[in-house]
Homo-oligomer: A and B are copies of this chain.
């Protein structure tokens, strides 16, 4: 049940329309949440019904009329209550990691290529990440850097074990460590 609260949090930084909120969520990687518009619009309706946000329609210079939401006192109260909830580690849901866990059955060269692909993605995310101007961004940066370091270490391990044939004939995978 995070999306409504995340929306309240974002609105606490300034009034916005559903469209705006989607953009803020998608752009701010340090936020830790994202959702589709098809989920955001109904959520805003429910928040409106619940009295947590107020609505003001406003003409747009470049599109249909915007519905701008702003936090009400009740909304601010609800946000603070959410922030006060006890800390808990979430149920792990990390598809790349889950896949990685089984990557061992693939050939080392395929695995190495995969690590390189992943490295490119993580490096790009790190580049896009803004300045470490707040706690969340510092956390994101730290985790991305840790992942990058891990990817490099893993690849080094892999290459040390079975050096990639640069141009010559592929050499047999020798070690009895991972039997087929």
Contacts and interface: CB of A to CB of B under 8 A. Distances in A.
A117 B86 contact: yes
B142 A150 contact: yes
A71 to B, nearest CB: 12
A105 B10 CA distance: 12
B135 A103 contact: yes
Interface stretch (A15-23, A61-69, A89-97, A161-169): A89-97
A95 B90 contact: yes
A147 interface: yes
Given A89-B125, A114-B87, A102 B9 contact: yes
Contacts of A160: none
Contact of A135 (B6, B85, B100): B100
A67 to B, nearest CB: 23
A146 interface: yes
What are the 7 closest A-B residue pairs judged by CB atoms, nearest first?
Answer: A32-B97, A146-B146, A32-B94, A9-B102, A101-B136, A32-B98, A142-B150
